[in-house]
Amino acid sequence: MTIAPSPRSIGPFTVSAIGLGCMNLSHAYLPRPDPRDAERLLRHALDKGVDFFDTAALYGFGANEELLGRTLMDRRGDFVLASKCVLGGKGGQRGLDGSPDAIEATLEDSLRRLRVDHIDLYYLHRLDPNVPIEDSVGALARAVDAGKIGAIGLSEMSAATLRRAHAVHPIAAMQTEYSPWTRNAEVAVLDACVALGVGFVAFSPLARGVLAGSVGPDGVDEADIRHAMPRFQPPHLDHNLGLAVRFRTIAQAAGCTMAQLSLAWVLSRRPNIVAIPGTTSTAHLDEDLATLTLDIPTDALAAVDALFTFEAVSGPRYAKGPQAQIDTETWDGEPLE
């Protein structure tokens, strides 16, 4: 099947089915590119037709928003701009603050760093358990009324939280990790998005590089955020790389790369899904975007579905601390640290 290249809807916005997640240009994954190379990649993405760019206040503790601000805003009319609040940094440490005052302050900082007076889509990056979701959404609703943001999104939240938020103000998008090896969204929130007319934005659609073939048996650098994720640690990593070998065989038989097969699988799941892979390589970006032109056999997508059952991947998705900061559903029997 060919994944329709026609635009998909995210709330009031119409975007290509593949956007760009900008996190790893400034944050979390290693190696990190030179700023000039990051700028070139962003400009290349625009030239190749990418029209949806995703950043956050957390990424590089503001550095990623500054990167987009100095690089892309001379072509502001060519893309939808998304950023996030609530999960941020204080003194170089991650922290949650979903209070209205914190959201308003973070938004002002984001507008300044991005060099804009309006952000198209602004997410609550995480649910702050100490603040009712209604209060956090209410702060963003006021920002919509003030013209500072165009639409509201949620990230890594459950179907129940989505419904509560949507009752306060229409939610345009739910962003959650989704790939063949992370299928929690299928428990409830994907169906809730369809029922409510909410777009679904899939981050890490290449399984944090595993299903792009970029992670080997030695794992990742100790300073890379993935190093603390159980799936990238022994004994889980060897098992998960074995799944990736089998996945590569399916991709080879389908006449595509591993990354393209993973993206095609994600996009085939629902017509309201937009994927935002991240990369520091223009060649890999071009490879990802070419997915939209390929004819992927339906039996290959079915083989992926059969290979990556909920129980197939070894190890929890997150370590105990980060797991406590997400509100997504878990599946019966899911390992949690």
Query: Which structure tokens are listed for 246?
Result: 């089998």
Enumerate the β-bridge partners of residue 10: 13
Q: What is the pTM of this model?
A: 0.97
Residues 98 and 87: their CA atoms lie apart, in Å, by 8
Report if residue 12 sits inside a domain.
Answer: yes
Pairing of strands 8-10, 13-15: antiparallel
Per residue in 281-337, pLDDT (tens digit) is: 999 999 999 999 999 999 999 999 999 999 999 999 999 989 999 999 999 999 997
How many other CB atoms sit within 10 Å of the CB of residue 38?
21
Active site residues: 59
Report if residue 188 sits inside a domain.
Answer: yes
Report if residue 56 sits inside a domain.
Answer: yes
Report if residue 139 sits inside a domain.
Answer: yes
The pLDDT value recorded for residue 278 is: 98
Asked if the model's pLDDT at residue 92 lies above 70, the reply is no
**What is the total count of domains within the chain?**
1
Chain mean pLDDT for the chain? 96
Average of pLDDT values for 204-212? 98
Q: Residue 31: how many CA atoms within 13 Å on its side-chain side?
A: 5
Domain range enclosing 70: 8-207+266-292
Q: Residue 181: how many CA atoms within 13 Å on its side-chain side?
A: 29
pLDDT band at 3 (very low <50, low <70, confident <90, very high): low
Residues 60 and 39: their CA atoms lie apart, in Å, by 15
Query: Which structure tokens are listed for 35?
Result: 């700023």
Residues 193 and 154: their CA atoms lie apart, in Å, by 11
Helix, strand, coil fractions of the chain, as percent rounded to 5: 45, 20, 35
Query: Which structure tokens are listed for 10?
Result: 């995210």
Per residue in 166-193, pLDDT (tens digit) is: 999 999 999 999 999 999 999 999 999 9
Report if residue 162 sits inside a domain.
Answer: yes
Per residue in 116-164, pLDDT (tens digit) is: 999 999 999 999 999 999 999 999 999 999 999 999 999 999 999 999 9
Report if residue 199 sits inside a domain.
Answer: yes
Query: Which structure tokens are listed for 138?
Result: 């209410």
Number of H helices, E strands in the chain: 11, 12
Asked if the model's pLDDT at residue 2 lies above 90, the reply is no
Report if residue 169 sits inside a domain.
Answer: yes
Report if residue 286 sits inside a domain.
Answer: yes
The Cα-based distances of 42 to 38, 45, 50, 53, 283 in angstroms read: 6, 5, 9, 9, 13
Question: For the ranges 2-11, 70-79, 127-136, which has the lowest average pLDDT?
Answer: 2-11
Residue 160 sits in a domain whose CATH number is 3.20.20.100
H-state helical runs in the chain: 35-47, 63-72, 100-114, 133-145, 159-168, 189-196, 236-254, 258-268, 282-289, 298-307, 320-323
User: Measured on CA atoms in the order 71, 77, 82, 88, is the torsion positive or negative?
Assistant: positive
Average of pLDDT values for 64-80? 98
The pLDDT value recorded for residue 6 is: 66
Query: Which structure tokens are listed for 75?
Result: 């072509």
How many other CB atoms sit within 10 Å of the CB of residue 34?
10
